[in-house]
Structure 1
Amino acid sequence: MKKKERAQLVQQRLMELYPEPAIPLDHTDSFTLLVAVLLSAQCTDKKVNEITPALFRVGGTPQRMAALGVDTILDIIRPLGLAPQKAKALAGLSQQLIDRFDSQVPQTFEGLESLPGVGHKTASVVMSQAFGHPAFPVDTHIHRLAQRWGLSDGSSVKKTEQDLKKLFPEDCWNRLHLQIIYYGREYCSARGCDGTKCPLCRELYPNRRKPVVHRKA
């Protein structure tokens, strides 16, 4: 099976499983989505969703978040990984949204990536899920599955993103990003599958016997 054929099969199977995938991070607008995505680094979405209701009650806008200050933000998000760095980033980006963007989340990659704590993946999620801009955020699930499915060589997250954008139509990127994440969690997790066990891995590579050795992001 050629790479393009594998991509088409992946897209078909994921549409059957997850025709309308929901954004897994709870949010109410572009600002709360930006905050939730930033908090999700090295944390599960489930854990972030447990913490954000209390944070959003007192810091649901850039003005209110900036007014909280780093120490108060840290007290609320302390159960999350990298909490000190994230608290500092949230206070800083909130103030910058006020000072530079009229308290609005910028709708460009350049503007988003200029904010403290916001890298390309976070910006891609916000651009795709908040503003509907075609983007293909690559997290650990997507990076891993792209290698298992022979869609990218795994040499870097940037390369994986480039390869997936070439293989799939632009109008499906935003949905497919979520579909792959859901499939990775449910069927093809890091420990639950080694490239030979889940339904898609077996269908794509029926003769594969050895586990796939991943190149880390």
Structure 2
Amino acid sequence: MPRQLNYHSIREIFTRFQTAEASPKGELDHVNAYTLVVAVALSAQATDKGVNKATRELFKIADTPQKMLDLGEDGLIAHIKTIGLYRNKAKNVIKLSRILVEDYDGEVPNSRAALQSLPGVGRKTANVVLNMWWRYPAQAVDTHIFRFGNRSGVAVGKDVVAVERAIEDNIPVDFQLHAHHWMILHGRYTCVARKPKCNACLIRDLCYYEDKTP
């Protein structure tokens, strides 16, 4: 099991992240809470870039649950067929849109339990929406954050829920709002899976990863 970094090291890491980019942003395009839910649901096993390309025109005509229902499943598929698992995702988007119209007056609920009750919306998606739209310090742990958290010692855990808990327990509260964005961007572009770019890493001296690339 990887070692967990101490408080002072973690505070220094996030101080450096904050200095480099004070207000990191998610990379999924959206115009409101509903389109954010849809975009995050579509991003499972797909790249943000690919999702943005597919939703660019979609969200111009279907930016509310009712408009998505009016578009219909086949109409939705026509926009998202370049995304992996598009048929199943289309079914879920139509189902969640119907639930939002029928049970929530077309509004996206802002509780984790209510969000997770929607088809195709898991804990990670719910946390992304809570964080990005309502600015709640929810921690959405994806593969990038899981890898970076364990590799560096910032947030150690055997599964995503354990890493989420480690982030909440170990990262100082003044960094919690943007913590998951700093980590996902670092994992996506610097602490990559196969050959981490340790020579360009601004926290190299604090990280516990033993097999640092030269």
Does residue 1:12 correspond to 2:15, yes or no?
A: yes
Contact 1:188–1:198 (Cα < 8 Å) also in 2 = no
| CA RMSD between the two structures | 2.1
The residue number in structure 1 matching 2:149 is 146
Deviation of 1:143 after TM superposition, in Å, equals 0.6
Partner of 2:165: helix, strand, or coil? helix
Partner of 2:125: helix, strand, or coil? helix
Q: What percentage of residue pairs aligned between the two structures are identical?
A: 37
CA distance in 1, matches of 2:126, 2:93: 14
Contact 2:11–2:172 (Cα < 8 Å) also in 1 = no
The residue number in structure 1 matching 2:103 is 100
Partner of 1:188: helix, strand, or coil? coil
CA distance in 1, matches of 2:207, 2:176: 24
Deviation of 1:169 after TM superposition, in Å, equals 3.0
The residue number in structure 2 matching 1:161 is 164
Contact 2:137–2:178 (Cα < 8 Å) also in 1 = no
CA distance in 2, matches of 1:97, 1:71: 20
Does residue 1:127 correspond to 2:130, yes or no?
A: yes
> Given the alignment, which residue of 22, 42, 46 partners 1:43?
46
1:116-142 Cα offsets, whole Å, 9 max, x none, are 000001000111111122211111111
Task: Tell me: CA distance 1:52–1:144, structure 2 relative to 1, closer, same or farther (3 Å).
Answer: same
Q: Compute the TM-score of the two structures, normalised by the length of structure 1.
A: 0.89
CA distance in 1, matches of 2:210, 2:145: 22
The residue number in structure 1 matching 2:211 is 210
Does residue 1:91 correspond to 2:91, yes or no?
A: no
Q: Letter of the 1:15 partner, please give it.
A: Q
Partner of 1:116: helix, strand, or coil? coil
> Given the alignment, which residue of 85, 99, 107 partners 1:82?
85
Q: Compute the TM-score of the two structures, normalised by the length of structure 2.
A: 0.90
CA distance in 2, matches of 1:175, 1:148: 20
The residue number in structure 1 matching 2:29 is 26
Does residue 1:116 correspond to 2:124, yes or no?
A: no
**Structure 2 gaps, min length 5:** none
Q: Letter of the 1:117 partner, please give it.
A: G
Question: How many residues are treated as equivalent by the alignment?
Answer: 210
Deviation of 1:209 after TM superposition, in Å, equals 4.3
Q: Letter of the 1:210 partner, please give it.
A: D
